[in-house]
Amino acid sequence: MGKTRVARTGNEAMAEAIRQINPDVVAAYPITPATEVMQIFATYVADGLVDTELVPTESEHSAMSAAIGSQVAGARTMTATSSQGLALMYEMLYIAAGLRLPLIMAEVNRALSAPINIHCDHSDTMGGRDAGWIQIFSENSQEAYDNLIQAVRIAEHKDVLLPIMVTTDGFIISHAMEAMEIYDDKDVRGFIGTYKPLLPALDHRNPITVGAIDFVDYYFEHRRAVAQAMINAKDVILEVGREFGRKFGQEYGFYEAYKLDDAEVAMVCLGSTAGTGKDAIDNLRKRGIKAGLLKIRVFRPFPAEELAARLRCVPQICVLDRSDALAATGGPLFAELLAAMYEDRSEHKIINRIYGLGGRDIKVGEIEELLSAQVSAAAGGKSIDRIAYLGVRE
Amino acid sequence: MSNLKQLATRRAPLCGGHRACAGCSAPNVVRQVLMASADPVVVGSATGCLEVTTTIFPYSAWNVPFVHSAFENAGASVSGIEAAYKSLKKQGKIADEKINFVAFGGDGGTYDIGFQSLSGAMERGHNLLYVCYDNGAYMNTGIQRSSATPRGAMTTTSPVGKVVQGKQQQRKDLTACMVAHEIPYVAQTTPAHWRDLNAKAEYAFSIDGPKFMNVLAPCRLGWGFPMELTMEMCRLAADTCFWPLYEVVDGRYKLTYTPREKKPIEDFLKLQTRFRHLFRPENEHVIAEIQQEVDRKWERLQKLCKL
Ligand SMILES: Cc1ncc(C[n+]2csc(CCOP(=O)(O)OP(=O)(O)O)c2C)c(N)n1
């Protein structure tokens, strides 16, 4: 097992993973901040470092359509996009899942228009949360790289066969240089294995019809099977995360808990904010506040029971959403966590802060202030809003 | 070119028992195109009448691999299939054999919503044949006008009202748009001219690169003619020069059929209820204008064929 310590941006780390995966086909279209992933990868194609057929389509809708065609044909296929690009793919996202195709996407989180904005938030990825795609968030370049490698095994597992997107935070991760470890090509390739398509459309001796029309007599059963695949994905994600740990040293699960065991207050978040949050937690602890953090790695399937169990003993919880569901009830992560905690029947005070839209920075001090205010409100101090916006001029 | 006897021995790529209307020409187009391939084929299709009538789960009328994913993406979808084939073949992951890739789309899925996807696929140079079966409207959703609908035609979104009667615009010349892509092969034909269609499809399959065929596909429901007249409608379309049969090989135009006697456009229009209102006295000028437009385009095409 060889490892090399390198400095890589999130986009470089993802491009490196794609090179090592060596997909049969990649279909993509440029959009900031994901563009660079494909630019880097195109140089690998041009230099003959991969066997990939690169299909540089005329739109993201066509990129996803070509990717679907390719995967149906029997090829391991990948793509990358952000924001408006993912939005333009929306129709095809559902189709990829409904056709049970283990497509793999590098998604670099970026705000949705209007106003047009190229910076990070999670509204693009959240827009696809009910599309039947597995969604994994990354805190940094290392995780982006590790997650993409695991994505192949998860998506292609016979009990799953669902498309998967691995996300990083636009610019914050995608364009920031970090120290990380990359593994030897042969180890990565050994881990992911070769792709054995179940029913490739290119097998003309055994012709299949893909994308048939279902009426009321079959549609529901086919969608139920998709739902089951997503349920099955939970075990597979854990199994692959453990095996990855055995092979490469870092094990992965549904979430990462940071100083949570004795926490009286915990923040819950996705992606790069966890890095900022950990600093805030350390500072709060120095000040005598028992703060902790729960970083959710897997958003789809949503590990409701596991999250609820992990947070059971934390009385004060603050959910940080980097997107707004515009539902007048807070952000999407908040809504789902709330539902999970309700089922758990434990006594909590859960608040929600929507932050960081369009790349607005979130600072260590803001998190500290927020969590300490929540603790003091719980102790009978000034009351605190249940749902509010953090860092916006109102 | 294969003769009828040879063609008759090939296994039908699309079998009977599908749910297309009696008199629908789309299945004829599909069979004639695919039977021109001596090599295996993989078919992609846009959403539309063809796809919904042939793939009602758990049944399928297709004896060849058939892939449908959405309405506006047949070009992109088959691009992906072809890219997969190239990659897997190059890597030795599949047998080294020739497969022909064919995309079918209706006029809505080709002229309109799928235009960009088609254009992209042609520009990227994928080795595939795109066949538009042009029935002149969105038939699957109930006869709405498309950019292929001829001037004057009544559809459910270009109805005959008190002040506006039928479609006001000329149809888009998609075949010309495809010629402008400077791809190796573009052709126009009908299933009634089966030798012509067969020869064109055989030629298309014999060359590398992107190919496009625009095939007239009369729809008896949307056009309003007796179902036994489907092929007659094709012949009238060609004989009135409403739908000339020609091909463009590497930019060179060639007429593949010249009517012995060019018939007046009324002969084509009068058999179809979608044009019935044009025969009212106040609409006579519309027929005259349609005739002028047909003549203008026919003359231009003849000139292009002499270049
Ligand atoms: C994005 C999208 N818009 C609209 C539709 C609805 N729709 C399905 S088939 C169809 C018409 C197809 O017309 P055409 O391509 O001309 O083929 P035809 O049905 O006439 O054979 C439409 C509008 C759809 N399936 N997808």
Domains of chain B, start order: 4-304 (3.40.50.970)
**Confidence band (pLDDT; 50, 70, 90) for B3?**
confident
Across residues B182-210, what is the average pLDDT? Answer: 98
- Are residues A207 and B62, on separate chains, in Cβ contact within 8 Å? yes
Q: How many residues does chain A have?
A: 394
- Are residues A57 and B76, on separate chains, in Cβ contact within 8 Å? yes
Q: State the pLDDT at residue B2.
A: 79
Query: What ranges make up the beta strands (E) of B107-210?
Result: 129-134, 185-189
Give the residue, out of B113, B138, B214, with the most ligand 1 atoms within 8 A of its beta carbon, to mutate for a pocket test: B138
Q: Is the complex ipTM higher than 0.95?
A: yes
Q: Cα–Cα distance between B147 and B155 in angstroms, integer?
A: 12
User: Which domains, ranges and CATH numbers included, belong to chain A?
Assistant: 3-248 (3.40.50.970), 255-390 (3.40.50.920)
Closest by Cβ to A24, choosing from B69, B88, B119? B88
**Confidence band (pLDDT; 50, 70, 90) for B209?**
very high
Q: State the pLDDT at residue A344.
A: 76
**Confidence band (pLDDT; 50, 70, 90) for B276?**
very high
Q: State the pLDDT at residue A381.
A: 83
Which positions in chain B touch A72 (Cβ < 8 Å)? 67, 69, 80-81
> Given CB atoms, is A216 within the 8 Å cutoff of chain B?
no
Q: State the pLDDT at residue B1.
A: 73
**Confidence band (pLDDT; 50, 70, 90) for B50?**
very high
Q: State the pLDDT at residue A345.
A: 73
- Are residues B81 and A59, on separate chains, in Cβ contact within 8 Å? no
Across residues B133-160, what is the average pLDDT? Answer: 98
Q: State the pLDDT at residue A343.
A: 76
Closest by Cβ to A211, choosing from B68, B80, B93? B68
Q: Cα of A68 to ligand 1 centre, how many Å? A: 19
What digits encode the pLDDT tens for the residues A90-109? Answer: 999 999 999 999 999 999 99
Q: Cα of A316 to ligand 1 centre, how many Å? A: 52
Distance from A219 to chain B by nearest Cα, in Å? 9
Torsion sign across C-alpha atoms A258, A261, A265, A267 = positive
Q: In what order do the strands lie in the sheet with A209-210?
A: A209-210, B66-68, B41-45, B100-106, B129-134, B211-216, B185-189, B246-249, B252-255
Q: Are A99 and A64 in contact (CB under 8 A)?
A: no
Closest by Cβ to B64, choosing from A53, A66, A204? A204
- For B144, counting Cβ atoms within 10 Å of its Cβ (0-12 exposed, 13-18 middle, 19+ buried), the class is middle
Q: Which of residues 139-168 of A touch B (CB under 8 A)?
A: none
Q: Measuring from atom 25 of ligand 1, which residue has the nearest CA?
A: B71
Give the residue, out of B21, B29, B47, B118, with the most ligand 1 atoms within 8 A of its beta carbon, to mutate for a pocket test: B47
Q: State the pLDDT at residue A262.
A: 97
Q: Are A187 and A7 in contact (CB under 8 A)?
A: no
Q: Cα–Cα distance between B245 and B237 in angstroms, integer?
A: 10
What digits encode the pLDDT tens for the residues A326-358? Answer: 999 999 999 999 999 987 777 789 999 999 999
What digits encode the pLDDT tens for the residues A198-233? Answer: 999 999 999 999 999 999 999 999 999 999 999 999
Q: How far are the Cα atoms of A9, A175, A196, A299, B262 from residue A170, in angstroms, in the given order?
A: 11, 7, 33, 18, 64
Q: Are A234 and A303 in contact (CB under 8 A)?
A: yes
Is residue B11 predicted with pLDDT exceeding 90?
no
Nearest alpha carbon to residue B268 among B298, B290, B301: B290
Structure tokens at A247: 């092979």
Is residue A191 predicted with pLDDT exceeding 80?
yes
Q: Name the residue of chain A whose CA is nearest to B13's CA.
A: A207
Q: Are B78 and B44 in contact (CB under 8 A)?
A: yes
Identify the DSSP state of A116: P
Interface test with A, best of B18, B43, B77, B98 (most A CBs within 10 A): B77
What's chain A's average pLDDT?
A: 97
Across residues B250-256, what is the average pLDDT? Answer: 97
Nearest alpha carbon to residue A219 among B58, B49, B45, B12: B58
Phi, psi for A137 (deg, rounded to 5): -100, 150
Q: State the pLDDT at residue B4.
A: 83
Q: Which of residues 98-117 of A touch B (CB under 8 A)?
A: 99
Q: Cα–Cα distance between B255 and B297 in angstroms, integer?
A: 13
Q: Cα–Cα distance between A202 and B56 in angstroms, integer?
A: 22
Question: Which amino acid belongs to residue A394?
Answer: E
Structure tokens at A95: 């189709």
What digits encode the pLDDT tens for the residues B226-238? Answer: 999 999 999 999 9
- Are residues B94 and A59, on separate chains, in Cβ contact within 8 Å? no
| C-alpha A255 chain-centroid distance | 12
Across residues A255-263, what is the average pLDDT? Answer: 98
Task: Note the pTM of the prediction, 2 decimals.
Answer: 0.97
Q: State the pLDDT at residue A6.
A: 98
Which positions in chain B touch A21 (Cβ < 8 Å)? none
Task: Give the contacts of B20 (CB within 8 A, at least 6 positions apart).
Answer: B26, B27, B49, B50, B53, B54
Q: State the pLDDT at residue A176.
A: 97
Across residues B127-151, what is the average pLDDT? Answer: 98
Identify the DSSP state of A71: H
- Are residues B69 and A211, on separate chains, in Cβ contact within 8 Å? yes
Distance from B124 to chain A by nearest Cα, in Å? 8
Q: Measuring from atom 11 of ligand 1, which residue has the nearest CA?
A: B138
Q: Cα–Cα distance between A209 and A65 in angstroms, integer?
A: 17
- What's the start-to-end Cα distance of chain B, in Å? 26
**Confidence band (pLDDT; 50, 70, 90) for A140?**
very high
- Are residues B72 and A61, on separate chains, in Cβ contact within 8 Å? yes
Q: Half-sphere exposure of residue B75, counting CA atoms within 13 Å on the CB side? A: 30
Q: Cα–Cα distance between A247 and A241 in angstroms, integer?
A: 10
Cβ atoms within 10 Å of B224's Cβ, excluding its own = 16
Q: State the pLDDT at residue A1.
A: 77
Is residue B70 predicted with pLDDT exceeding 80?
yes
**Confidence band (pLDDT; 50, 70, 90) for A164?**
very high
Interface test with A, best of B43, B55, B71, B93 (most A CBs within 10 A): B93
- Are residues B117 and A62, on separate chains, in Cβ contact within 8 Å? yes
Is residue B191 predicted with pLDDT exceeding 80?
yes
Helices (H), chain B: 4-9, 26-34, 49-54, 74-90, 107, 115-124, 174-179, 194-206, 220-223, 230-239, 265-269, 284-306
- Are residues B80 and A73, on separate chains, in Cβ contact within 8 Å? yes
Question: Which amino acid belongs to residue A337?
Answer: L
Q: Which residues line ligand 1 (CB under 6 A)?
A: B 46-50, 71-72, 105-109, 135, 138-141, 146
**Confidence band (pLDDT; 50, 70, 90) for B148?**
very high
Q: Cα of B68 to ligand 1 centre, how many Å? A: 13
What residues pair up with A387 in beta bridges, in sequence order? A352
